[in-house]
Amino acid sequence: MKKPESFSDPIYITRPLLPELGDVIPYMESIWESKRLSNQAEFHTRLESELATYLNAEYLRVFCNGTLSLTLALMAMNVKGEVITTPFTFPATPHSILMAGATPIYTDIDPLSMCLDPGRIEEAITPATEAILGVHVYGVPCDVSAIQKIANRHGLKVIYDAAHAFNTLLDGAPICSFGDATMYSFHATKLFHTFEGGCVVSRKFEVDQQIQYLRNFGIKDELTVVKPGVNAKMNELQSAIGLEMLRIIGGELERRARIKALYEKGFSQIEGITMIQMPDNVSDSLQYLVVRVDKEQFGVEADVLYEELREFNIYARRYFYPLCTSYDYNRHNGVELPVAEQVAEEVLCFPFFGEMSSSDVEHILSCVAYIRHKNNS
């Protein structure tokens, strides 16, 4: 097998979706005209209402980033005790729990969905447990009905980190339809983004009101501050980008669906590489292109494939290796997490964005095939 050429320019896991600059200028003109740059001005208000429609949400509030969105959602719901969560996520998830003053308790994940395993949750519940924080990792939904049943049985709150799941639909419903609150991240690496940003969808008027106080210094009105809040507001530039992004997201989803199909066809012919599959009742958020590498069949582990791809100028990412529980400040409470440990060793995220050409995908696939060949001969 002939060694493929390297990419002349590095190919990264993502490239941000951007509106045409010309389409953003009118928003800038309007901001310059009004001189309203932040503090819940016109574009902020419009973005909240358009997003609420897009996500079919009753209460939706935008923020300066996803991490603070999640932290303040926990604070708004007064979650201060133990929170059962997954070790297989981006560190922002447990950090939000810690910053809210609560304690993350890690339980193992399901080997297929890679989300919290509902069968492991109940054994972790103690009198101090107040909430379950699930992550719809890679846009694969948690088992929301099993989690809700456990929460109801024990009087717990359910919060979801849907940073990867902006476009995930479960039985046709946006994923924020489940749980007491859901966070989305609008960071530049996410499919729908506002450069930096995030939002929380919640279900109760009282929680929504607390969220609004917390993101704006705790201010109720000009004379009243009701609690020590922070500044977590989204500004007008970010909000304008969000509005324009909602117009172009459909095209990006179509492009990514075509790229996913090319990868799917190619990987089906490479033994030892399996692309993760969405269940039949789920529509893919198209945030990441994730495979699992079977060492026995592929010949080497995911970390070796990752390293060897770099030699071809291909920058895959090992989301989420190592587990959140591997950091010193965050050592877990002695619970075994064998599934999460194995999954973290096996996964690899490939370059995935609408601007990729079919020949980029073909070329990446031939490099993977070459690496397999090389390591098996």
Ligand X SMILES: *Cc1c(COP(=O)(O)O)cnc(C)c1O
Residues in contact with ligand X by CB under 6 A are 65-67, 89-90, 92-93, 135, 161, 163-164, 185, 187, 198
Closest to ligand X by CB, 129 vs 238, is: 238
CB of 219 to ligand X, least distance (A): 23
Other Cβ atoms less than 10 A from the Cβ of 239: the count is 26
Per-residue DSSP letter, 179: S
Closest to ligand X by CB, 160 vs 312, is: 160
Strand partners, 174: 169
Whose structure tokens read 């007491």? 180
Closest to ligand X by CB, 108 vs 308, is: 108
Tokens (6 digits) for 139? 């846009």
Closest to ligand X by CB, 164 vs 363, is: 164
CB of 353 to ligand X, least distance (A): 16
DSSP 208-256: HHHHHHHHBTTEEETTEE-S---B----HHHHHHHHHHHHHHHHHHHHH
Whose structure tokens read 């070329």? 363
CB of 259 to ligand X, least distance (A): 20
Instruction: With beta carbons less than 8 A apart as the criterion, state whether 58 and 203 touch.
Output: yes
CB of 92 to ligand X, least distance (A): 4
CB of 138 to ligand X, least distance (A): 9
CB of 210 to ligand X, least distance (A): 20
- CB-based closest residue to ligand X: 66
Distance CA 346, CA 34 (A): 52
Nearest partner of 85 among 252, 255, 298, 320, judged by Cα: 320
Distance CA 24, CA 13 (A): 26
Closest to ligand X by CB, 27 vs 320, is: 320
Distance CA 256, CA 288 (A): 10
CB of 135 to ligand X, least distance (A): 5
Closest to ligand X by CB, 161 vs 284, is: 161
Distance CA 211, CA 202 (A): 9
**Residues 123, 129, 130, CA angle at the centre, nearest 5°?**
135
Distance CA 195, CA 154 (A): 39
Closest to ligand X by CB, 315 vs 370, is: 315
